[in-house]
Structure 1
Amino acid sequence: MPIPPHNRRASGAVVAALGAAGLIVLAVAPAAFGDGTAPELVVGGVEPIHGLKPGGTFDLPVTVANKGVGTAETVWVSYSVTRGLAFVDVPSNCRVQHIRSYDEMPENWTATCTFDQAVGPGVVYTPEKPLRVTALDRAFHDRLRVRVEEGGAPMDDENGEPSVPGTAPAVKLVEQPAGGEGSAKRVNVSVTSVNTADYQVTGAALRGRVGDTVTMKVAFANAGPAWVLEGDEGEQGVQIMITPPAGTSVVKRDYYCHADGGKYRCPAHVGMHMAEDAQMGYTFKLKIDKRIAGAKGSIALSTGPRPFDHDKANDKADITLDVTGGGSTGSTGGSTSGGNGSTGASTGGSNGSTGGSTDGSGGSTNGSAGGSSSTGDNGTTSNGGNLAETGSSTLPITGAAAAALVAGAGTLLIARRRRARNQS
């Protein structure tokens, strides 16, 4: 039954009153929980470190302060370093965990130290012996994170291996003169080392007859000794530029690569870092359209500052093509590598992991850099037809349009005949 108008107004008043009461409760709740009696821990004394050499060490003179009113009965301090750094002589009241790389986070090690002692307000503490860190042979641009919290030690990161306790004597927090306290629960700084990394590419030698589809496998690698973490200290991401040989068209591109004019632009790695001795492979399917004397493509690093890479001779490599048997011979013109501006929809290509890639057609891996070619699956394409990746779809679309036109004309003719019968 509909509610009379006066009842509706009454109901609205009740709802408004309840809403106001709810707002009052929400406004009061923060005051009840934030009464100013809780401890407020902050960490300090952590500064960026520059100019290390592989094998060098440094100490972490961390301070812990309580800027709140209440006392923290137990605290823990967590130190995290990226893969170019390592902890030395970890105390037994600390646990060390190796955390694998996941998402875009690089591999790192974490040492979490628990101090079962009270930290009173207004007092600055520091571990009686600072934690020591060493720079490994692969150190270059690394990150150091320090965090402090109240209570018992946190659980292990689910992406890492089980943590293990340190073997050095346990340490405790000791009071120090006022000053040097930080202002935040966590601090993130950079640690740089003097080191180099050699980026290099490997080309391929292709061979086949006119009309064949061949597999092209090329590669990029970081020969070390340093690993590279992009985004720190102005390091910019490198791109790989692949130009197929003239006289060929791209039937299937690598999954991670995209057409850029007559070339293909590919990432050097998946994520924000490149480990030392890591490799990224790129697999393409090329159709040999015609024989062109001296046809040659290339794989090259994008231009850009890489002050850590002193060897520029291996920044570019050739992709050669030997066309066997008969077939027409064209002039040494531009490559028909296809797909100017086309990004395709290939599901094959490299898997982005260290040590190789798949060509997306049969699960085979490219564990070694560059090299051999193979023939087969003539005319196989990524769009299900026999057209190369040149963006050409004129014939299928024209056929569909013609079919639609015929069907429409037939429908119109039938309608006219029915109208004529009805009028007669």
Structure 2
Amino acid sequence: MIRRVGFGRVLAVTAAVLGGVLFPGVSVASGSSSANVRPLSAGSSHALREEGAGHEELLTIDRLERDGGDLLREGSRFDVRAGFKHKGERVLHKKAFSITVSERLSFATEYSNCEYGEEVPTSPVNRSFRTAVCWIDMRIEPGESVDLAPFALKVDRWANDETVSVADSGLGKHWAAPGVVWRDRHWGRGGKLTLAKRTGDVPPAARVKAGVDLSYYKLDVDVDSSWDIEVTGAALKGRKGETVTAHLAMDFHGSDVQAQHDAENSVPFARIRVQFPQGVTVLKSPKQCGNRVTKRPYYQCEYNLYTNSFDVPMLRDGYHEDFPFELRIDDTSELTGGSIRLDAPTEVLQADADHVNSTARITVDAVGGPDRTDRTAWTVAAGAGALAVTGLLAAALLRARRRAD
């Protein structure tokens, strides 16, 4: 699987359900909530007293794993286990935990002590997340470790590299991060998610390996999936000097992939490389295509999916991008060797499900064959030369006969 860099959106969603706290003692800038965000009602049976919330001690997450080693596929179900250690000094009685999953995962079981919601992405191309905030009453002594009961998740269609984040989200306000809007807010109707005191050690593979104490952590979930980038070439016809348009394109098929590898949009998942026959001149190129000056110049094209260091744009099934080029036919004897192809790191090229459609030809046929103007001029010149030679030979023969007489 090709692992992608997670940008600020994951952090923002986590911040929303952490009640404004990411790390013990470190606050996140707060702002007015969206009109679509509804806090817990003071009269709700789920609302908890926020006594001393400003100095609340958060548990340190020290365990996060998924059960089973089988590679997941669409429709698979799996359990996630998470655990925490109380490194504070006060006895705790109530806790709220948040579970956030990327959009191609869903909660297989919903608990009655958990409130669920789905983030509304700022754009349809951006990745969204689902979150559950679960309220649990339990006495936790300083130095004790506790584990959440395993909770089940399901792999949905188009899943690829997914994530699960678990956090002690504190007893403050939830669902209220600036710029994050939620939909389908509801409480579960099943049994209750429980918390139990840990009796043994955390398996080595499940230990959270962080340099500092964190109240939340993220688990990467690999899924057996496939994707394909298809390119479309062009077959053009025209006379010398004529202008033609090459309607090139790319299409994405299959499971989601993250469109950008970094927050500066300098490392896209893939690019498209376009090389035209030497006998044509590019008069106009798409704005997302740049000319690369080499021994044989080519164009490098990108799709219009960019991050702002906060959102995570995705290449999704059905995504289409056009690359129209305006060309002039200059030399009809140099109209071969044009192509459009997928341009990406080796690991991306190898992961593409269909290598055949990753390359396509760009052909230009000269109407009427080779240039007629040049050929006609050459024929006229050759004919005139032949007539001149014939005239000289006739004059020479005439002079020779006169001398003989």
**TM tier relative to shorter chain:** 0.5 to 0.7
Q: Which has the higher contact order (CA 8 A, sep 6+)?
A: 2
Q: Tell me the residue number matched to 1:275.
A: 316
Q: 1:101 to 1:308 in 2, by over 3 A?
A: farther
Q: Tell me the residue number matched to 1:249.
A: 281
In the alignment, is the contact (CA less than 8 A) between 1:74 and 1:115 conserved in 2? yes
Question: Offset of 1:118 from its aligned partner?
Answer: 5.3
Q: 1:215 to 1:76 in 2, by over 3 A?
A: farther
Find 2:361's aligned residue among 309, 318, 342. 318
Q: For 1:84-163, what aligned pairs fall within 5 Å after superposition?
A: 84-101=104-121, 106-115=126-135, 117=137, 120-122=140-142, 123-127=144-148, 129-155=149-175, 158-163=179-184
Question: Offset of 1:315 from its aligned partner?
Answer: 1.1
State, as a whole percentage, how many aligned pairs show the same letter.
21
The TM-score, its normalising length taken from structure 2, stands at 0.61
What CA distance in whole angstroms lies between the structure 2 residues aligned with 1:100 and 1:253? 35
> Structure 2 regions of 5+ residues with no counterpart?
1-25, 27-54, 307-312, 375-405
Question: Offset of 1:263 from its aligned partner?
Answer: 0.6
Show CA shifts across 1:75-102 (max 9, x none): 3222222233222122233333333555
Show CA shifts across 1:108-150 (max 9, x none): 32222231535534233344x4321112232222222222221
Q: Tell me the residue number matched to 1:309.
A: 352
Q: Tell me the residue number matched to 2:186.
A: 165
Q: How large is the RMSD of aligned CA atoms in angstroms?
A: 3.7
Question: Offset of 1:103 from its aligned partner?
Answer: 8.7
In the alignment, is the contact (CA less than 8 A) between 1:90 and 1:131 conserved in 2? no
Q: 1:169 to 1:246 in 2, by over 3 A?
A: same
The TM-score, its normalising length taken from structure 1, stands at 0.59
Q: For 1:289-368, what aligned pairs fall within 5 Å after superposition?
A: 289-292=330-333, 294-295=335-336, 297-302=338-343, 304-306=346-348, 307-324=350-367, 328=371
2:305 paired with 1:263: no
2:75 paired with 1:55: yes
Q: Tell me the residue number matched to 1:75.
A: 95
Q: Tell me the residue number matched to 1:407.
A: none
Show CA shifts across 1:305-324 (max 9, x none): 33432421111011222444
Residue type matched to 1:309 in 2?
A: D
Which has the larger displacement, 292-301 or 238-247?
292-301
Find 1:42's aligned residue among 50, 57, 60. 60
Q: 1:241 to 1:214 in 2, by over 3 A?
A: same
Aligned residues: 293
Question: Offset of 1:160 from its aligned partner?
Answer: 4.4
Q: Tell me the residue number matched to 1:228.
A: 257
Residue type matched to 1:197 in 2?
A: W
Q: Tell me the residue number matched to 2:387.
A: none
Q: Tell me the residue number matched to 1:286.
A: 327
What CA distance in whole angstroms lies between the structure 2 residues aligned with 1:268 and 1:48? 35
> Structure 1 regions of 5+ residues with no counterpart?
1-29, 31-36, 332-424
In the alignment, is the contact (CA less than 8 A) between 1:99 and 1:107 conserved in 2? no
Which has the larger displacement, 254-263 or 176-185?
176-185
Residue type matched to 1:78 in 2?
A: S
What CA distance in whole angstroms lies between the structure 1 residues aligned with 2:74 and 2:198? 34
2:270 paired with 1:238: yes
Q: Tell me the residue number matched to 1:383.
A: none
What CA distance in whole angstroms lies between the structure 1 residues aligned with 2:181 and 2:371? 59
Residue type matched to 1:265 in 2?
A: Q
